[in-house]
Amino acid sequence: MKKIILTIDYELFLGDLTGTTKECMIEPTQMLASILDKNGSKMTIFWDILHYYRLLELENSCSELLEDRLLIENQILELAKSGHDIQLHLHPHWLDAKYENNKWNFTYERFKLHNLSIQNNPEDINTIIGCVSFAKNLMEDLIRSVNPSYRVTTYRAGGYLIEPFNEIKDALFKNEIRIDSSVCFNLHNSNGIFSYDFCFYPNKLKYNFEFTPREIEKAGSFIEIPITTVKIPIFYNIFLKFLSKTKYSNIETGRKGSGAGEYSNNREKNIFNKLLSAVINRNYQLSTDSNFKERFSYILKKVHDYSTMIIHPKLLNSHTIELLDDYVSTNKIRFISIQDFSY
Burial class (CB in 10 A: 0-12, 13-18, 19+), 22: middle
**Complex with Zn ion: residue 314 or 334, whichever CB lies closer:** 314
Q: For the chain, what is the total number of helices (H) and then of strands (E)?
A: 11, 15
**Complex with Zn ion: residue 9 or 68, whichever CB lies closer:** 9
Distances (CA, A) of 162 to 17, 26, 185, 343: 25, 27, 13, 24
Cα–Cα distance for residue pair 104/326, rounded to 1 Å: 36
Q: Interface with Zn ion by CB under 5 A: which range of 6-14, 74-82, 130-138, 324-332?
A: 6-14
**Contact 213/165 with Cβ under 8 angstroms?**
yes
Burial class (CB in 10 A: 0-12, 13-18, 19+), 251: middle
Q: Quote the least distance from Cβ 88 to Zn ion, whole Å.
A: 11
Q: Interface with Zn ion by CB under 5 A: which range of 22-30, 150-158, 275-283, 298-306?
A: 150-158
Binding to Zn ion by CB under 5 A, coded x per residue (else -) over 7-36, reads --x-x-------------------------
Q: Quote the least distance from Cβ 200 to Zn ion, whole Å.
A: 24
Q: Quote the least distance from Cβ 93 to Zn ion, whole Å.
A: 10
**Complex with Zn ion: residue 128 or 300, whichever CB lies closer:** 128
Cα–Cα distance for residue pair 317/176, rounded to 1 Å: 36
From the list 139, 41, 36, 81, the residue with the least C-alpha distance to 341 is 41
**Complex with Zn ion: residue 158 or 313, whichever CB lies closer:** 158
Q: Interface with Zn ion by CB under 5 A: which range of 3-11, 203-211, 269-277, 316-324?
A: 3-11
Q: Quote the least distance from Cβ 113 to Zn ion, whole Å.
A: 12
Cα–Cα distance for residue pair 231/234, rounded to 1 Å: 9
Distances (CA, A) of 152 to 132, 138, 186, 334: 10, 10, 28, 24
**Complex with Zn ion: residue 300 or 315, whichever CB lies closer:** 315
**Complex with Zn ion: residue 47 or 209, whichever CB lies closer:** 47
Q: Which of 158, 213, 226, 257 binds Zn ion (CB under 5 A)?
A: 158
Q: Quote the least distance from Cβ 110 to Zn ion, whole Å.
A: 15
Measured from the Cβ of residue 230, the count of other Cβ atoms closer than 10 Å reads 19
By CB under 5 A, the residues from 224 to 263 that bind Zn ion are: none
**Complex with Zn ion: residue 8 or 79, whichever CB lies closer:** 8
Work out whether 313 is an interface residue with Zn ion (CB under 5 A): no
SS3 12: coil
Amino acid, res. 46: F
Binding to Zn ion by CB under 5 A, coded x per residue (else -) over 100-139, reads ----------------------------------------
Q: Quote the least distance from Cβ 9 to Zn ion, whole Å.
A: 4
**Site residues, Zn ion (CB under 5 A):** 9, 11, 158
